[in-house]
Each structure stands twice: as C-alpha cells, then as structure tokens.
Amino acid sequence: MNLFTESNLRPDLLKAIGELGYESPTEIQKQTIPFILSDIRDLIALAQTGTGKTAAFSLPILDMIDDTSRKIQFLVLCPTRELCLQIAKDIKNYTKYMPNIKSTAVYGGSSIMDQMRSLKDKPQIIVGTPGRVIDLINRKALDFSAIHWLVLDEADEMLSMGFKDELETILSETPETKQTFLFSATMSKEVERISKNYLTKPHRISVGSINEVKKNIKHEYYVAGYRQKKEALKRLIDSNPNQYSIIFCRTRMETQEVADFLMQNGYAADALHGDLSQAQRDTVMKKFRLKNIDILVATDVAARGLDVNSLTHVVHYSLPDDPEVFVHRSGRTGRAGKDGISISLIKPEESRKLKQIKSVTKIDITESRIPTGEDIVKAQVAGVFENLLEVHEDFFEFDDSLIPDLSEFSKEELVHKLLQFQLKDLALYYKDKQDILEQKMSTRDDDRGGRGDRRDRDRGRDRDRGPRDDRDGRRGDRGGKPRQRDENMTRFFFNLGKKDQLKKIDVLEIINKATSSKGNKRAEIGNIEILEKFSFFEVEKSFKGELLGNIQSMKFKGKDMRAEEAN
C-alpha cells in the first residue's frame, strides 16, 4: 500500500483524509491498516510519537464500525488530556463525511457533568484518560459491554504515570471478545506484563528501530559542573540563535527552576509540568504552538500530546535513565524531513550513563566545547543575517523619503552599525565573562562518584556563605568542627520564595525549629538559595525525616510550608 487510494478503505474516509492532505501512508500505517482490516488477532505496535499512529488504528476501525448502532464500539485510552483532545480531533476530521458517527472525549480538568451530558448523544467512540473513564464508569455513565475495539495509546506513558490499576479496572469492564491494540514507544516490563495478561497471542509490528530515529538529527553533548550548568545552558541557547526548542528536565522542581532562570534572563520561555493547573497547561501549550514563546522547559510526561513538527533543538538538561526515552525525546526534532539537533548537558559524573545510552542506541553523540563569548557573538551575527535574508512579505508601507541620506557610509559600515546596535547587550554581557572551563570525564572520576565536582560545589558554597563565624551561632555547640562533606547533606525544595518575603534568616529559623527534637544537637545547614517563587536549602542528611515530618505542620506568615527532597 503505497497510496491511501490503494487501500480498501471506504470512499467517505478516503475523501476526508484526501482533503487533509493524506496521500502516502507512513510505515506504521502501511503495516497496521491492512492488518486491522483483515485480522482478528490482538496487536502490539511499537512506534515513536509523530509517526501517524492515530490514523493507523482509527482509519481501519472507522471503516468497520456500525454507524446504525448507538452503543460504544470503539474505546481509545491515552495518558494526557492534550493527547486525548488531539486524537478526538483527528477522529472527528476523519469522520467528516460519516454523519451518523459520533465521538466524545472524556478527560480530567474539565466539567464531568458536561461530559456526562455529551454521552447522552450515544457516541460509538470514546477517547479518554484512565482516571476520568473510571469516574464515569463509577457513575454508571459508561457501558463498555459492547465494545469491539480497544486501543491503549502511549501505553508506556500511562503505566509510568501510575495508571496501572485504572487500566486493569477498565480492561475488566470490557468483553473478552474485543480486539485490543497496544501502541507504545517503548516496551517496558510493565507494558510487557499488561500485554501478557490482557492480550491474546498478539501480532507484533515494530516500526523505526532505535537506530533509525537519529536520521536527520545531530547529537552533541557538553560537560559542565553542578554550579555551572545553568550558565552553560544559557551559552548553548545564545550560540544557537533562532531556535525553537524543548528542554527536558527530570523533575517538576527542576523544570520550574530552569524555566524561571531563563525567564529572569530575558528568554521567551515557560515551564510545563504536573504542578500546573489544566488552565495553566493549556495557556503554556498554546503560547508554544503559536511561537509566542520559543523555549519550552518540560518533563517527559508533560510533553506527551504536544505534537510540534518544527522543533529545531531538543536539549537534555538531565539525562533520562532509559536509553529509549533519550531516543524518544530526541525524535521530537528532525521531523518532516528537516534537520534537528539534540544537545545533552551533562555533569562529569554522568559519563557512565551517557556511555550506556550510546552503547544501547548506537547513536554517535559527539562531545563539543561549551561556547566562549567570542563564539556566541559570531553565532549571533550569523543569526541576524539568517533572519534578515529570509523571504519576508511587506507588512507595512512607508515613504522612502523617511530614509535618511546614508551615502556617506559604505555597505560594510552600515552593516557594522546595524550589528553593534542589534547585539550590544549580548556582547557586553559576555565581554568580561570568564569562559566555562572544559571538564574532562574519566573512569577514575566515575569510580570516585564525581567527587571532584562535589569539591567544586563545596568550595563554591563556602564562598557563597562568607566567613564561617557569620552563621547566626547555629554551630556554636560544635566547637568549630570543620563542616561535613557534601555527601552528608540533603538538598530540599521549599515552596516559598522572595515573593513571600522569605529571607535567609527566616530559612535558618525554620530549619532549626523543624529539627530541634534531637536534644542539644543542631542540624548542619548548607547552602540556601532563595528564588522568586520557591527556594532550595541543604540540611544534614540525618535530619531529613525529622525536617520533612515537622515542616508541613508549620506556617510562615500564615502560609503553609512544604518541603521535599530535591534531585
């Protein structure tokens, strides 16, 4: 099947997808559509995001669905609201010329009553997130006793988000005679278990081996110490002008911290993570799709359902544990035949993890030097000309007489003045900036657990603190004993910041109160970093449980306090 017109799909479907511009099927569509149309077996399909999975499973099912029945015949489960809405939108487009087919999306973050009312139209197709589907089952609003087809889309993400119990509950509500199709980017142990328990002798389709994902994508990595990482990220962004990128972080806290850093430094950036309300998530994603912001800082889970084909860069601010997740992230750039760049920013002690990723994926990830100020200015000059020489339509008209007489200047002089004007602030920022020194990675450093990097942090922390005696007397009973090494400290995220009028003296008092039950022994306190909306602090590891147990019952100027261990 090289063209959709060569398939056995019904004419009204072909007409609808033809108007959408569908001509040649993707590889997953070539293999999946004929199978579903002709086979009654279950299916496991492994394919990356952006390969056309929705059409692959929807079109053949829509071809076979009974539009005279008002019972639910087709259920799609997916991990996020965004993906749910995208699939529902695609199905609606495919059924443009099938007036008797109705579909409904059900998901959290919106009125359940409105969704229950939409179910009164008796749709044949339900697209939903597991949590909301369970809620509607419990309210007797959904009946899956007659479904013929069940699709688990992004099954790996649903399981990683903790939907295992919900999936098993929903599956138990469906008839054994149904046909189940499991689509996943990776084949984790949990996905394998679900497939063994709930699929019957499934056929397997795997599209795009892990090696093929790197096509059109250049992979680079840069090494920076713990305290240099954000500054290194800034340099990498500045040295790649005109980028449209996603920066992947490991945790929600890290995501917000990096996004705040970028926004405070004047970048059009924002964060996307699980702590945002649905309205906030929608706003951020809309801004990113419209390119009102050009840098999105996100966790892996939050970025699911965000389908953007024009990303120029993907940045791994934190390396994932799973090599396949690295490939999945990187595959978000280099789409639609365009070239893409995948950048990994790693600490020296992460060399083993990077080697593992390179070994499993067979991707050639080359080491590069963190750009100097001179490198960045040169890249920015090239970026100015790249923008200037693009084909632009005329957005407004003006009288040429408004252009002053420039005959006294040569072409080169005019360009020089333009660039000095355009890049003045950036050039001044880097003019006297010390370059980030290249940090070599070695097996010896790995075996020592990155102790050299921790020593850098310890020295930097001592400089930040100032004299040892200026610590509010909190260590007077320790007899001036040298401070403990970094490995004996735990770093915490704290939910209050400058906007709450929080100061370092307040943090010291809060920590001392929360760790005061161990007799006369006071907790060793490390670095305190107060940001606009939240803070970080370090406390002696042995006080971790006591601090976490007590701080949640305390208040600061009437506000609830929350702390959790930071990675």
Does position 450 have pLDDT exceeding 80, yes or no? no
Mean of the pLDDT values across residues 201-219? 74
Helix, strand, coil % over all residues of the chain, rounded to 5: 45, 15, 40
Strand, coil or helix: 152: strand
Q: Which of 166-180, 201-215, 303-317, 375-389 is least confident?
A: 201-215
302-309 average pLDDT score = 72
**Integer Cα distance of 244 and 178 in angstroms:** 43
pLDDT for 451 equals 40
pLDDT value of residue 445: 39
Mean local confidence (pLDDT), 97-119 = 93
At 470 the pLDDT is 36
Q: Quick one: tokens of 35?
A: 């199978």
Strand-by-strand arrangement of the 535-540 sheet: 525-530, 535-540, 489-494, 563-565
Residue 455 within a domain = no
Residue 497 sits in a domain whose CATH number is: 3.30.70.330
* Residue where one domain finishes, among candidates 184, 206, 228: 206
Of 206, 238, 265, the domain-final residue: 206
pLDDT at 50: 67
Give the residue numbers spanning the domain of 359: 212-370
- Tell whether 116 and 220 lie within a shared domain: no
Residue 254, domain member (yes or no): yes
Q: What is the pLDDT of residue 203?
A: 94
**53 domain residue, yes or no:** yes
Asked whether residue 361 falls in the same domain as residue 391, the answer is: no
Same domain, 339 and 474: no
Of the candidates 206, 233, 261, which is a domain's last residue?
A: 206
| Same domain? 14 vs 141 | yes
127 and 174 in a common domain: yes
Question: Cα(490)–Cα(481) distance, rounded to whole angstroms?
Answer: 19
pLDDT tens track for 36-69: 999 999 999 988 766 788 999 999 999 999 999 9
| d(C-alpha 250, C-alpha 229), whole Å | 14
Both 344 and 487 in one domain: the answer is no
What confidence score (pLDDT) does residue 520 get?
Answer: 56
Do 286 and 390 lie in one domain? The reply is no
Please say if the pLDDT value at position 213 is more than 80. no
Is 312 in the same domain as 406?
no
CATH code for the domain in which residue 222 is found: 3.40.50.300
Q: What is the pLDDT of residue 400?
A: 75
Q: Is residue 62 part of a domain?
A: yes
Instruction: Examine the domain organization and report whether 327 and 383 are in the same domain.
Output: no
Residue 394: the pLDDT is 67
- Residue 461 is assigned to a structural domain of this protein: no
Q: Residue 432 — pLDDT band, cuts 50, 70, 90?
A: confident
In terms of domains, do 178 and 68 share one?
Answer: yes
Q: Are residues 381 and 341 in the same domain?
A: no
Residue 448's pLDDT is 39
Among 21, 15, 9, smallest CA distance to 56 is for: 9
Average pLDDT value for the chain: 82
Q: So what's the pLDDT on residue 476?
A: 37
Is residue 438 one of the residues assigned to a domain?
Answer: no
Is pLDDT above 50 for 457? no
Looking up tokens 């060399």 gives 351
Residue 252 clears pLDDT 60, i.e. is over it: yes
For 250-256, what is the mean pLDDT?
Answer: 89
Is the pLDDT higher at 188 or at 172? 172
CA angle 313, 316, 322 (to 5 degrees): 125
Closest-CA residue to 102 (of 129, 81, 123):
123
- Same domain assignment for residues 273 and 201: no
Number of domains in the chain: 4
Write down the pLDDT at residue 382.
Answer: 81
- The answer to whether residue 447 is domain-embedded is no
Handedness of CA 429, 372, 311, 224 (dihedral sign): negative
> Would residue 446 count as lying in a domain?
no
Whether residue 437 is predicted with pLDDT greater than 70 in this model: the reply is no
pLDDT band at 331 (very low <50, low <70, confident <90, very high): confident
Q: What percent of the chain has pLDDT over 90?
A: 35
User: Which tokens in the block code for residue 420?
Assistant: 């000095």
